[in-house]
Amino acid sequence: MFRTHTCGSLTAKNIGETVTLAGWVQKIRNKGFVIWVDLRDRYGITQLVFDTERTDASVLENAKSLGREFVVQIKGTVIERESKNLLMPTGEIELLVSELTLLNASKTPPFTIEDKTDGGEDLRMKYRYLDIRRNPVKQNLIFRSQVAMAVRNYLSGEGFIEIETPYLIKSTPEGARDFVVPSRMNEGQFYALPQSPQTFKQLLMVGGMDKYFQIVRCFRDEDLRADRQPEFTQIDCEMAFVEQEDILNAFEGLTRHILEHTKGVELEKFPRMTYDQAMRKYGNDKPDIRFGMAFGELTEVAQGFGFPVFDGQELVVGIAVPNGAEMTRKEIDELTEWVKRSQVGAKGLVWVRYQADGTLKSSVDKFYNTETLQKWAEKTAAKTGDMILIMAGNADKTRSQLSDLRMELAKRLGLRNPEIFAPLWVVDFPLLEWDEESGRYHAMHHPFTSPKPEDIPMLETNPGKVRANAYDLVLNGNEIGGGSIRIHDKSTQQRMFKLLGFSDEQAKAQFGFLMDAFEYGAPPHGGIAFGFDRLVSILGGQETIRDFIAFPKNNSGRDIMIDAPATISEEQLDELNIALTLKVKK
Ligand code: ASP
């Protein structure tokens, strides 16, 4: 037997037993007459002891030549430790070694294999296999596996069938660029890697599979924003013969199950909000509702008093910062500078202090009396001791700027507690969104999303107003899932493609297979996909999804461990019949 136990399993109960362990040398303390070695494997650390009195001279000699991260197999007797470490499961015992086999030596690792390492991000990524030996990364990967297992258990229990869909496909638009793969056997032609299995899962519904899921890799060639990965994982799901309500219930159930089984957290029924409400109340379609600071619209009670910054603006809107009245001028100035940065782009901030004695003091006292300020306090739900911060301008922009400020303040005030989980559904998204650059409408979710039946008459006359049967699941200010009821008839799908600027020929060339399928008894259907990496990182209480992916790419989309992407050989290019003329940008 290679090992009888793991490095995390021996306790006082095993004292006196002869055991065999295998693992990596974490640490060596050589006192001359005695050597202690911490031996580590996935399960924990066990202290080994070698000494001049009890250990064979040759074994002791071998122990002296060990180095960090050497791989060894050892046989020994479990003995009671003199100085116990009750913080460790194995802290009451140590192993008196009788046999030591060196399985493999190791170079000195480029960074310390400790919970807090001295390795920078790049170094850790280059030697990711060493990084994975560290507890924090290891634990994250184990946690990820537990979440995946909870998903499979729940969905299988609900009658969902896990089905794999192909990776070498034709474009499925989710609003990003495709990664393409040249086909050797079909000269001059390319596959696209799926941005999602969207069309396939719909075809599975036409195929009568009824309830499908897949934990699946998706590929999107986007300009990488912080914490986006070009390949990422979704929990992808689809159901037939359902209405929106059925889907929300099914996946609220899944989310609740995951939280209960991986975090021991029981959630109340998830609140729901329309897209419109979310934008008005939080300036954001993925509001973080772990804390208040909801928007109060002040346009009506702030205009017409001769204050030029507010008058004539589309929207005047404010938030009450809890216990913010004590903010100094300096702090307010700093916040004002913060909102004026180009990333936020606001023009400035108006403030009103709701002082502890109940009086109100503002930066615009010249224009407004107490009675008016009192109305602002009511609309922003400010209490004594709060600070009201106000912005004005174009409605959409101002909402988004105030939303940025709200999130920043919440961060500074420590209101984004990672131990609290506040999910909600955002429903009734607009079907389309106007894209300035291309001068046309884009599908806000994707082109297969069905409009609300009552809004269909507006499709051609007022497309921007049409709402979709689309929903997002939001958790702690992050969109963790999104989906829709789909179009399942050919003519509506054709109308949709037309709206999105596809000619009939283009639509047929790209999605003819789907519209054909709709002519063979496609059932009403709908679904959702969860961003698995993001979900796991939120549940794990951390911000970056990279920490929950075994082999992630860096911010330039590179895997710096295997050094990909890379050029390919002339031979490979020839086989593919590709002549490479790179238009290298300076
Ligand atoms: N395919 C969609 C996405 O990747 C999810 C869905 O509509 O089910 O966002």
Per-residue pLDDT reduced to its tens digit, 247-286:
999 999 999 999 999 999 999 999 999 999 999 999 999 9
Q: What pLDDT sits at residue 5?
A: 98
> What ligand 1 atom has the least distance to the C-alpha of 234?
4
Q: Give the CA radius of gyration of the chain.
A: 30
Residue nearest ligand 1's atom 4 by CA: 196
CA of 234 relative to ligand 1 center, distance in Å: 9
What are the residue boundaries of the structural domains of the chain, listed by start? Answer: 12-104, 291-412
Residue nearest ligand 1's atom 8 by CA: 528
527 Cβ below 6 A of ligand 1: yes
Domains 12-104 and 291-412 share a fold: no
Q: Among 3.30.360.10, 3.40.50.800, 3.30.70.360, 2.40.50.140, what is the CATH number of 12-104?
A: 2.40.50.140
CA of 200 relative to ligand 1 center, distance in Å: 11
This prediction has a pTM of: 0.94
> What ligand 1 atom has the least distance to the C-alpha of 528?
8
Q: What pLDDT sits at residue 586?
A: 52
> What ligand 1 atom has the least distance to the C-alpha of 198?
1
Question: pLDDT for 209-221, tens place per residue?
Answer: 999 999 999 999 9
451 Cβ below 6 A of ligand 1: no
CA of 153 relative to ligand 1 center, distance in Å: 22
482 Cβ below 6 A of ligand 1: yes
What's the CA gap between 378 and 387, in Å, rounded?
A: 13
202 Cβ below 6 A of ligand 1: no
Q: What pLDDT sits at residue 31?
A: 93
CA of 482 relative to ligand 1 center, distance in Å: 6
Pairing, β 525-531 against β 211-219: unpaired
Which residues fall within 8 angstroms of residue 416, CB to CB, at 6 or more apart? 288, 290, 291, 407, 410, 476, 477
Phi-psi region of 509 (alpha: psi -120 to 50; beta: other; left: phi over 0): alpha
23 Cβ below 6 A of ligand 1: no
Alpha carbon separation from 92 to 9, 82, 83, 276 (Å, rounded):
12, 8, 8, 60
Q: Which residues of the chain have pLDDT under 70?
A: 583-586
Q: What pLDDT sits at residue 584?
A: 63
Architecture of the structural domain at 291-412 = 2-Layer Sandwich (3.30)
Name the residue among 148, 125, 149 with its Cα closest to residue 137: 125
Residue nearest ligand 1's atom 1 by CA: 198
481 Cβ below 6 A of ligand 1: no
CA of 343 relative to ligand 1 center, distance in Å: 29
Query: Is it true that the peptide bond before 565 is cis, omega within 30 degrees of 0?
Result: yes
